[in-house]
Amino acid sequence: MIKWIIIALIAIIVLSFFGYDLKVIIDSPMTQKNLNYTKSGVEYVWEGFLQGPLTYLYKNIFIGILWNAFIHNLGRIDAGAPTELENAAQRFLKIGDQPYQPIGQ
């Protein structure tokens, strides 16, 4: 994000060096027409194709599964309890009564 801000600032400085007035460029009718056309295209793609899947992924996968598990495990760490991953590892290591023996021994 910071990289893009720095690139934008450099671009503005370069345009100023060559004598371009950004206010005149942005306020021109052709630029406004192009910006409105681009905005309507982005809205069409967002509403028609991306909004449903990305909203589902954000709400159900990121928030519903990952974020809630993260918050739950942070609470367990804060309480001094083992995390779910540590519990699963302990259950996995204690499978059966005998220690691990390679096949054929």
pLDDT of residue 31: 95
The yes-or-no verdict on residue 97 having pLDDT over 90 is no
Domain that holds residue 80: 29-93
Handedness of CA 19, 20, 23, 27 (dihedral sign): positive
- Give the predicted TM-score (pTM) of the model: 0.59
Residue 9 lies in a domain: no
The yes-or-no verdict on residue 48 having pLDDT over 90 is yes
The token duo for 63 is 């928030």
The yes-or-no verdict on residue 24 having pLDDT over 90 is yes
Residue 5 lies in a domain: no
The structural domain count of the chain equals 1
Residue 11 lies in a domain: no
- For residue range 34-43, what is the model confidence (pLDDT) as tens digits? 999 999 999 9
Residue 59 lies in a domain: yes
Residue 19 lies in a domain: no
Residue 102 lies in a domain: no
